[in-house]
Amino acid sequence: MESSGTGQGYGETARTPHKGRARDTLSLLSAEFDGTHDVWRSAMGTVCVADPESARAVLGNRDAVVAEASDFYKTRHGDFGPRAAQIRIGRAARALIRRHLDARRAELPGLVSELLAPSAVWPDAGNLLVLRHLRDVLLHRDAPPQLHATVGQIVRRAVLAGARHRHSPPSRLLFRRRALNFLHTEIRDRQRQLAPTRDPRDLLDVVVDESEPGADPKDLAEVYLSFLFATVGSVGFALGWSVHLLGTHPDCQAAEPSWTVREALRLWPVAWLFARTPSHVQTLGGEEVTPRDLLAVCTYLVHRHPKYWERPDDFVPERWAGTVPDAAYLPFGYGPHTCAGATVTMRLLEDLVELITRDWRLSVTHDGAGPQVGPALAPPRFTAVLSARPDRPGRR
């Protein structure tokens, strides 16, 4: 039950340029990037891509520049497909989440008050808040209690930052087998009861209903896990970055929430590194690459490229009030495989940041540690204290 080796943490099989040393990878690539040569052969042996145009060419893959499509639908058995099913699943998932956010928006202030105040330890607090808010989307209420428990355990053992290091490899393997067994059984049951006329009750229904008849339950389970990592993991981490940056830059707490969220995703793109293989010999950003190379598209560096961004390493939410270099901003990927959940993600993040800054005074204590770098870029552990604003009665 481990997240993938590339940016988002989707799937479980993708490759990290330096497996198990993601933190070193971030430091090393950052140290190597001189701000001018933005496609280069790294000491790690990969070809690193920080040039926005080359990054878009690779991620968008319009001219079949690379062999892979995207990470989200990658399974142990290759790419889950066909593409038409991927598209149906992405759209249905977005629609389901959007309906849920519409219907349950009023719950958010209570959840913030209950789970984040008076103080909480992050980034787990963000992940657990998203889990609570999207619980029914992940698994409908009448799903077997054992499966509910399993999803909660997957979050605690595999989604939270650093969680998997807290368990030994044998214990992880055992848990993985047990959890996948529960998921496979439920998926087979739902495939037998398939009723395509009803609305999906949860993301597992989305995956079962919109896949091709006879799809392998094992692949469907992996796609479902991609959704779990994307929702509870990525959205929770992105919220954590916004809260961390606001807490460490109190002067910015009055900024427009959408600017804060965009700027947090610029400085700390949760999906920060994408591994791809060139499909043929070609020149990319002036560098000749071949199918024997491994490309590492680093959106973290694209987002801090000094040729495109002023004060690239500073937290400046106000920059989003003006014109920004959109071409150098890829937090949700690029091209046909751009994140299907980008709009619902932004909406939830903006709502939460607005609530936190409008109703509460936020302060953060931390030990100055850097990000927790893995397949996804998670904030360091920190404590955030929320104290009620006197002009906002009714809050604790």
Where does this chain bind ligand HEM (CB under 6 A)? Answer: 7-8, 59, 70-73, 86, 90, 93-94, 97, 227, 230-231, 234-235, 238, 270-271, 274, 331-333, 337, 339-341, 344-345
Cis peptide before 123 (omega within 30 of 0): yes
Using CA atoms, how far apart are residues 226 and 10, in angstroms rounded to an integer? Answer: 5
- Judge contact between 38 and 101, C-beta under 8 A: no
Residue type, 44: M
Residue 202 phi/psi, 5-degree rounding, is -160, 180
Using CA atoms, how far apart are residues 190 and 188, in angstroms rounded to an integer? Answer: 5
Min CB(108)–ligand HEM separation in Å: 16
Which of 70, 129, 78, 103 is CA-nearest to residue 340? 70
Min CB(117)–ligand HEM separation in Å: 23
Min CB(66)–ligand HEM separation in Å: 10
Report residue 266 as tokens.
């610029």
Which of 158, 175, 163 is CA-nearest to residue 228? 158
Range 275-281 contact pairs with CB under 8 angstroms and sequence separation of 24 or more = 275/5, 275/6, 275/14, 275/15, 275/16, 275/17, 275/46, 276/58, 276/59, 276/66, 276/67, 276/68, 277/66, 277/67, 277/68, 278/65, 278/66, 278/67, 279/64, 279/65, 279/66, 279/67
Min CB(361)–ligand HEM separation in Å: 26
Q: Beta strand 360-366 with 382-388: parallel, antiparallel or unpaired?
A: antiparallel
Min CB(288)–ligand HEM separation in Å: 24
Q: Please, which residue, 230 or 373, has the CB nearer to ligand HEM?
A: 230
Query: Tokens 């920190």 — which residue?
Result: 382
Q: Please, which residue, 58 or 112, has the CB nearer to ligand HEM?
A: 58
Q: Please, which residue, 93 or 117, has the CB nearer to ligand HEM?
A: 93
Q: Please, which residue, 117 or 207, has the CB nearer to ligand HEM?
A: 207
Min CB(396)–ligand HEM separation in Å: 28
Q: Please, which residue, 217 or 269, has the CB nearer to ligand HEM?
A: 269
Using CA atoms, how far apart are residues 234 and 377, in angstroms rounded to an integer? Answer: 9
Cα atoms in the Cβ-side hemisphere of radius 13 Å centred on 140: 13
Min CB(285)–ligand HEM separation in Å: 18
Q: Please, which residue, 90 or 247, has the CB nearer to ligand HEM?
A: 90
Q: Please, which residue, 92 or 187, has the CB nearer to ligand HEM?
A: 92
- Judge contact between 376 and 8, C-beta under 8 A: yes
Q: Report angle CA 74, 82, 274 to the nearest 5 degrees.
A: 30
Q: Which residue is nearest to ligand HEM (CB)?
A: 341
Min CB(344)–ligand HEM separation in Å: 6
Q: Please, which residue, 175 or 237, has the CB nearer to ligand HEM?
A: 237
Q: Please, which residue, 31 or 64, has the CB nearer to ligand HEM?
A: 64
Min CB(235)–ligand HEM separation in Å: 5
Using CA atoms, how far apart are residues 344 and 342, in angstroms rounded to an integer? Answer: 6
Buried b (16+ CB within 10 A) or exposed e, 76-92: eeebbeeeebbebbbeb
Alpha-carbon distances of 137 from 95, 141, 227, rounded to whole Å: 11, 9, 10
Min CB(226)–ligand HEM separation in Å: 7
Q: Please, which residue, 308 or 334, has the CB nearer to ligand HEM?
A: 334
